[in-house]
Structure 1
Amino acid sequence: MRLIASDIDGTILGHDGKISSRTLEAFQAAAEAGIGIVFVTGRPPRWLDPIREQVGHTGTVICSNGAVTYSLESESVVASHLLPWETVSHVRDIISGLAPEPRFALESLDGFHVEPGFLGAEQPPSLAGLEPEQLTPAMAGGGIIKMLAVLHTGNADDFLDLVRPKVGGLISVTHSAPTLALLEMGPLGVNKAVTLAEYAASKGIAAADVVAFGDMPNDIEMLGWAGAGYAMASGHPDALAAAALTAPRFEDDGVAQVIEARLAALRLA
């Protein structure tokens, strides 16, 4: 074990925005043992405060399902994969013909843009004050890193099953929302595993030496690539089916339990 790659939401971070003290101590122990730590998330760079403030992480975070590699130390984008407007527009047209009243948003390197109706009746506190706007080609100038589509009825699994066969050759499509029919789409061929593999290679670390944790469909490729890919027992059935290993539930500090056991095994080796 030379590198730990962990998802954030539902894996180490709860709905209350907190990371448990046991998990924080496990990451600290791993770092003190000389093991690298990288967080791999669907979150954009603007939404990394829990990692910065609670973990004290100042290294690399792979964001937006692999579309962005971000340095917390310099607060800057190290690398990015972008979506051209032509792809965004084409995919939007296809989805609009498949589902009733989908609403769209774009995550770019310079902001978050939502069209009217995307937020729904209950606006999340994290988006308080965000003004809806028309999505235009000019937004591509800011570097589009993620496209989102939401239905305010149904669930994400059914929405994904409907959309993926029609747009999978144009764009990467996945989801990580447990209770909302929200799809996350990025550059074709880009996912958490692709960018994590690039990052590990830059450090001279092979897949066999990477321990990864995740809980949702957007983690599937990463869990399959890592030498030890753990799906959380509390995670999505598709993530559990795809992973070779299972960590205890998030509520039981599953990531911490695995890290503690692996560090103990290293000390005995």
Structure 2
Amino acid sequence: MSDWRPKLIVSDLDGTLLRSDETISDETLAELQRWAGEGVPLVLATGRPPRWMLGVRDRLGGGTAICCNGAVLLDLGEFQVLEEHPVQPEVLQQITGQLREHQPDTWFAVEYGDQFRHEPIYQPRWDRDAPGVAVATLAEMVAQPVAKLLARHERLGRDEFVALVAEVVGDAATVTTSSSDAMAEISARGVTKATGLARLAAERGLTPADVVYFGDMPNDLAAFDWVREGGGRAVAMAHAHPDVLAAATDVTDSNDAEGVARLLASLRA
């Protein structure tokens, strides 16, 4: 594959394209612009909701983003939601009831539109006082479709808690994580970054063999599998979760060491 070149660059954001200070370096931006100049665009694939994408849009100037782990397709230039695949109220009610029964100290939050709602005891790690962020009861949160349901536990370890959530949820929804904390991210059944990417690639006449994908967390695994099994390149960051490293075709440097830019530059050599 020494002469292989992608037709589409896809990257996770946090821990991957973004450095630890949540910025995109000049080196990485210049490398992405070189590829774009040759007709190879960038697509972002992130667990972030649209409301967290404004700063990224300002830095990149536009493009397309697969947000909320595949539940939302966003046009960054127009900042317009193109497609949504939400979790429906009846599923939310079933899942939250079962999780609360199995692990009473599980606390919930939801993302929908440009809004974030969380139970009073749920402890958000970011933007607690940002516009659109508010406290709500669980009954209020599960009364409407949401892009993503978040379940958090303050005492259990991350992998232990996410495995517990996945076992309880079963095939009613899709469970993953992109956090270093005990937080599970729950999307509609079958919705992953891979499903969002597959739809987007098909619209552009591309296959997995045309894609290089960068990621670092379990919410990238479905996309890694789709790209790798189709003959593309699934690139893990050096610090990635062990499961991501095991699923990768390549490993690059960390996000703070310009790993995305350096791997892309090697494909141009």
String of CA shifts for 1:19-63, please: whole Å, max 9, x gaps.
22211111111111110210000000110023212222x121100
Task: Tell me which residue corresponds to 2:76.
Answer: 72
Task: Tell me which residue corresponds to 1:229.
Answer: 234
Unmatched 5+ stretches in structure 2: 1-5
String of CA shifts for 1:173-209, please: whole Å, max 9, x gaps.
000002x111100000010011101001101111100
Task: Tell me which residue corresponds to 2:166.
Answer: 164
SS at match of 2:268: helix
Against the structure 1 CA distance between its residues 125 and 167, is the aligned structure 2 distance closer, same or farther, given a 3 Å change threshold?
A: closer
1:128 aligns with 2:129: yes
Letter in 2 for 1:204: G
Task: Tell me which residue corresponds to 1:196.
Answer: 197
Task: Tell me which residue corresponds to 2:90.
Answer: 86
Task: Tell me which residue corresponds to 1:104.
Answer: 108
Task: Tell me which residue corresponds to 1:24.
Answer: 29
Task: Tell me which residue corresponds to 1:213.
Answer: 214
Letter in 1 for 2:238: A
Letter in 2 for 1:59: G
1:6 aligns with 2:11: yes
SS at match of 1:144: coil
Q: TM-score, normalised by structure 1?
A: 0.91
Q: Distance in 1 between matches of 2:161 and 2:222?
A: 20
Unmatched 5+ stretches in structure 1: 265-269
Alignment of 1:46-65 (within 5 A): 46-56=51-61, 58-65=62-69
Contact 1:17 1:50 in 2 (8 A): no
Q: Distance in 2 between matches of 1:138 and 1:97?
A: 18
CA RMSD of the aligned region, Å? 1.6
Q: Distance in 1 between matches of 2:9 and 2:128?
A: 30
Letter in 2 for 1:177: S
SS at match of 2:135: coil
Contact 1:23 1:253 in 2 (8 A): yes
Alignment of 1:112-151 (within 5 A): 112-119=116-123, 124-128=125-129, 130-136=133-139, 140-141=143-144, 143-151=145-153
Task: Tell me which residue corresponds to 1:267.
Answer: none
Contact 1:113 1:135 in 2 (8 A): no
In structure 1, which of residues 176, 179, 188 is the aligned counterpart of residue 178 of structure 2? Answer: 176
Letter in 1 for 2:201: A
Letter in 2 for 1:167: V
Q: Distance in 2 between matches of 1:46 and 1:135?
A: 22
SS at match of 1:257: helix
Letter in 2 for 1:150: R
SS at match of 1:13: coil
Letter in 2 for 1:85: P
Per-residue deviation, 1:263: 2.0
Letter in 2 for 1:116: P
Q: Distance in 2 between matches of 1:240 and 1:67?
A: 25
Per-residue deviation, 1:160: 1.1
Q: Distance in 1 between matches of 2:128 and 2:120?
A: 14
Contact 1:224 1:244 in 2 (8 A): no
Per-residue deviation, 1:219: 0.2
Contact 1:85 1:137 in 2 (8 A): no
1:41 aligns with 2:46: yes
Q: TM-score, normalised by structure 2?
A: 0.91
Number of residue pairs the alignment of both structures matches: 258
Per-residue deviation, 1:9: 0.2
SS at match of 1:168: helix
